[in-house]
């Protein structure tokens, strides 16, 4: 099977949010997190790989004392639709008694984030706050709501700014949408 070509997808894609919109959204989310934490230390837990660009920008704007780790769990594994949650890496630090700021690229149906949030609670986190760069609002969710949302995206296949198009395009500075 041939991997779809990113350049071909970009020719057909609609740019949903450009770099300026995303930068402003990240600043707003950071301000909301700063207000919610009010100086309280937190564990900044990045969901790899998609959240990496968002997390890097967000972390520099959060004023509270942070420790860092990452978690890697996925349902997509290079596909355009999700399957069963697959754990690749769990945090190295203890979550016991901590406030966790769980940072991800997108809240779509919420199954992956719900599984990760539940894991954090099971490991003893006293509070789990969820920050996502993007959220799809479509009524098919797992009942999970993010505490902080950067931008909304349409109910289409989106990529760029951490989200991939068949493992390509995570480094794009804008978010694009194509029909799956």
Give per-residue pLDDT as tens, 41-67. Answer: 999 999 999 999 999 999 999 999 999
Asked, for residue 59, whether it belongs to a domain, the answer is yes
Reference 106, options 155, 69, 68, 64; nearest CA is: 155
Number of domains in the chain: 1
Asked, for residue 25, whether it belongs to a domain, the answer is yes
Give per-residue pLDDT as tens, 104-159. Answer: 999 988 888 999 999 999 999 999 999 999 999 787 766 789 999 999 999 999 99
Asked, for residue 1, whether it belongs to a domain, the answer is no
H helix runs in 16-166, sequence order: 19-37, 52-59, 111-122
Domain that holds residue 116: 6-178
* Residue in the structure block whose two tokens are 């986190």: 125
Asked, for residue 123, whether it belongs to a domain, the answer is yes
CATH number at residue 71: 3.40.50.2020
Cβ distance 70 to 52 under 8 Å?
Answer: no
For residue 3, the model assigns a pLDDT of: 72
HSE on the CB side for 172, CA within 13 Å?
Answer: 23
- Cite the active site residues: 108
Query: What's the Cα-to-Cα distance from 92 to each of 30, 68, 88, 95, 126, rounded to whole Å?
Result: 25, 10, 13, 9, 17
- Report residue 97 CA to chain centroid gap: 23
Mean pLDDT of the chain: 92
Rounded Cα gap, residues 156 and 139, in angstroms? 14
HSE on the CB side for 79, CA within 13 Å?
Answer: 8
Rounded Cα gap, residues 110 and 147, in angstroms? 13
Partnered with residue 69 across adjacent β-strands are 45
Asked, for residue 131, whether it belongs to a domain, the answer is yes
């Amino acid at each position: 099977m041939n991997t779809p070509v990113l350049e071909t997808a970009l020719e057909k894609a609609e740019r949903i949010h450009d770099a300026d919109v995303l930068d402003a959204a990240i600043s707003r989310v950071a301000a909301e997190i700063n207000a919610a934490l009010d100086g309280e230390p937190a564990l900044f837990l990045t969901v790899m790989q998609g959240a990496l660009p968002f997390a890097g920008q967000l972390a520099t704007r959060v004023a509270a004392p942070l420790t860092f780790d990452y978690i890697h769990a996925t349902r997509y594994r290079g596909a355009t639709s999700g399957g069963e949650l697959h754990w690749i890496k769990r945090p190295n630090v203890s979550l016991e008694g901590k406030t966790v700021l769980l940072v991800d690229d997108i809240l779509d149906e919420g199954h992956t984030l719900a599984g990760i949030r539940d894991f954090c609670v099971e490991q003893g986190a006293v509070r789990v706050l969820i920050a996502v760069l993007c959220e799809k609002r479509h009524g098919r969710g797992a009942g999970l709501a993010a505490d902080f949302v950067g931008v909304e995206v349409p109910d289409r296949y989106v990529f760029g700014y951490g989200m991939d198009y068949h493992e390509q395009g995570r480094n794009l500075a804008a978010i694009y949408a194509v029909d799956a």
